[in-house]
Amino acid sequence: MTVLCADGLIPARFLTLLAHLTILIVTLWARDEIVVSCLPYDYNGNDYGIKITEMIIGLSLAIGFIGIELIGFMSGLSMFMPSASVFSIGCHSTASILLSYALFDEWDCSLYWWIFAMCSLPPGLFEIIYAFSQIVLKKI
């Protein structure tokens, strides 16, 4: 089972993490256009400021969770755990696809928080909990 995990799950998990990170960075770079596209036609500076701050906070949190997950993955804490790999692959590939559609089709900015809550938060929290249980509690 370890050979199958190393042959397929590890590279797939790494690639989906990088794909999600890449699309988040692209979205962060294009945040001005995204925010303007999801505001009403007669928006004011206050509306723009609130939405751009909300978008920066959300994207930064997602990048932070991916960073935590990459550190745990690269350090070997969860690299050979098949359940964590499958869960991470599913969440990050779904997030990459949804964020790509959101970026190209100019979805509403509030939908980002649904994508974040379903695809970025759970694997990041799982990685934190698993690292805590392995390092502090010395349990597997």
Q: What is the pLDDT of residue 18?
A: 97
- pTM listed for this prediction: 0.89
Task: Give the lowest-confidence range in 23-32, 89-98, 130-139.
Answer: 130-139
80 or 23, which is more confident = 23
CA–CA distance, 40 with 47 (Å, rounded to integer): 9
- Mean per-residue pLDDT of the chain: 90
Residue type, 49: G
Q: What is the pLDDT of residue 117?
A: 96
Question: Model confidence over 33-58: pLDDT tens digits?
Answer: 889 888 888 888 898 999 999 999 99
Question: Model confidence over 120-140: pLDDT tens digits?
Answer: 999 999 999 999 998 888 865
Q: What is the pLDDT of residue 27?
A: 94
Span between the terminal Cα atoms of the chain, in Å? 17
Task: Please give the share of the chain, as a percent, with pLDDT higher than 90.
Answer: 64
The mean per-residue pLDDT over the stretch 67-88 comes to: 92
Q: What is the pLDDT of residue 113?
A: 94
CA–CA distance, 55 with 67 (Å, rounded to integer): 18
